[in-house]
Structure 1
Amino acid sequence: MEIQQIKAMIERALADGRLSRQEDDDIKAAIFSDKKVTEEEMKLYRELQKQVFEGDIILDN
């Protein structure tokens, strides 16, 4: 999947300030869809994790 598509997916998922487990799973699946993870994709996912860890984004079950 193109990096722009992954960015858009993350933006849509975080629009409400929450991240569901399903959205997280979908984002990870998109990142791994081509069987390789680029440095840019990993950076995007780390930023997402940081936002959750810092409480900027609420992780839903």
Structure 2
Amino acid sequence: MELEQIKTMIERALADKRLSPLESDSIKAAIYSDKKVTPEEAELFRNLQEQIWNGDVIIEE
């Protein structure tokens, strides 16, 4: 999947400051879809993780 598509997917998923298991799985699947993780994709994922760790995003169960 293209980097811009992944960015958009993450932005939409985090619009409500919550991340559902389905959204999380979809984002991971998009990043790993070509069996390679680019540095840019890794950075997007790191930013997502930081938002979770900082409490800016809540993980739903």
TM-score, normalised to structure 1, is 0.97
CA distance in 1, matches of 2:60, 2:46: 18
1:39 aligns with 2:39: yes
Provide the identity percentage. 64
Deviations 1:18-53 (A, max 9, x none): 001110110000000011000000000010011001
Give the equivalent residue in structure 2 for 1:2.
Answer: 2
RMSD: 0.5
Residue aligned with 1:27, SS: helix
Runs in 1 of length 4+ with deviation above 6 angstroms? none
User: Where in structure 2 are there 5+ consecutive unaligned residues?
Assistant: none
